[in-house]
């Protein structure tokens, strides 16, 4: 007896096809979401990268300690040896300093006059005249006046010059040791700082040099030969009214490559403040 052939199981076949269809759709759907998600992530990362483009390089600020290299701001180098006792005159405080690389021991200022004064620097190359801001920087001008009156600057050679090639144009003077490490044995705070000024140290400015630490003004000063974008850390004491051609001459002569000593020597034979 021949058994009849059973008809195909249509409901089971349909179910298998439905299950297969669901699986295929799910795979395609998941694949689409995944691809879309990756594309969106890449786009966001790309946008983020664009918005965080590197900034333009910012030039480093000049240093504040005098040293070979041409880019450092006028400064003095601290040395042990200060012996002065603290003193106060009309709000100006003189404290013992370690910048004392000198055999000279000048007395601290005993008077402070808060008025404009005239400074005269007689050199081997000619005379430099300065309008001193005793009304704005009374302590600095009092120190300059006291030191000049004691002959501290007499026959002292300016020890440093920088040129346009160095990125800073200054003539620095006021150290009897000639090393850039000397001072009167006392120090005092900054004053009349050009904070917030677009051109803080214009050509002709006379300002006090200092170490890397604040409150270390002494005897050293510098004359700016070309507008200088220095940090507003140096007391502005006056402006040259006559004799900038002397500074220009020394700058044009350049300096040696070891310690920025001027190739054209300029020596202060006499300094007066009145």
Q: Give the CATH number of domain 87-104+117-273.
A: 2.40.100.10
- What pLDDT score does 187 carry? 94
Write a three-state SS string for 17-44: HHHHHHHHHHHHHHHHHHHHHHHHHHHH
Cα 218 to Cα 94: distance, rounded to the nearest angstrom? 10
Per-residue model confidence as pLDDT tens digits over 123-171: 999 999 999 999 999 999 999 999 999 999 999 999 999 999 999 999 9
Task: Tally Cβ neighbours within 10 Å of residue 213.
Answer: 12
Cα 10 to Cα 187: distance, rounded to the nearest angstrom? 106
Looking at the predicted structure, is the pLDDT value of residue 35 above 70?
Answer: no
Token output for 203: 């050509």
Looking at the predicted structure, is the pLDDT value of residue 112 above 90?
Answer: yes
- What pLDDT score does 100 carry? 57
Per-residue model confidence as pLDDT tens digits over 55-98: 222 222 333 333 333 345 666 544 433 444 567 888 899 998 76
Per-residue model confidence as pLDDT tens digits over 221-268: 999 999 999 999 999 999 999 999 999 999 999 999 888 999 999 999
- What pLDDT score does 105 carry? 82
If you average pLDDT over every residue of the chain, what do you get?
76
Hey, where are the domains in the chain?
Answer: 87-104+117-273
Cα 116 to Cα 138: distance, rounded to the nearest angstrom? 9
* Max Cα distance, the chain (Å): 144
């Amino acid at each position: 007896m021949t058994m009849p052939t059973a008809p195909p199981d249509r409901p089971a076949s349909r179910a298998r096809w439905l299950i297969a269809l669901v699986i295929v759709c799910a795979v395609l759907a998941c694949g689409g979401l995944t691809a879309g998600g990756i594309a969106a992530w890449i786009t966001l990362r790309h946008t983020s990268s664009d918005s965080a483009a590197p900034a333009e390089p910012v030039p480093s600020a000049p240093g504040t300690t005098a040293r070979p290299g041409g880019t450092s701001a006028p400064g003095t180098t601290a040395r042990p040896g200060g012996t002065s006792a603290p003193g106060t005159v009309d709000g100006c405080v003189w404290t013992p300093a370690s910048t004392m690389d000198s055999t000279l021991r000048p007395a601290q200022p005993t008077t402070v006059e808060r008025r404009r004064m005239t400074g005269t620097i007689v050199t081997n190359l000619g005379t430099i005249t300065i309008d001193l801001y005793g009304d704005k920087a009374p302590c600095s001008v009092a120190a300059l006046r006291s030191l000049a009156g004691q002959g501290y600057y007499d026959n002292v050679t300016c020890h440093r010059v920088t040129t346009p090639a160095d990125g800073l144009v200054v003539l620095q003077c006021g150290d009897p040791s000639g090393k850039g490490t000397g001072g009167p044995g006392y120090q005092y705070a900054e004053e009349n700082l050009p904070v917030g000024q677009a051109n803080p140290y214009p050509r002709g400015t006379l300002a006090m040099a200092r170490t890397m630490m604040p409150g270390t003004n002494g005897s050293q000063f510098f004359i700016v030969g070309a507008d200088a974008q220095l940090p507003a850390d140096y007391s502005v004491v006056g402006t040259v009214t006559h004799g900038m051609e002397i500074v220009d001459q020394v700058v044009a002569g350049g300096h040696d490559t070891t310690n920025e000593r001027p190739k054209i020597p300029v020596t202060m034979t006499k300094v007066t403040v009145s």
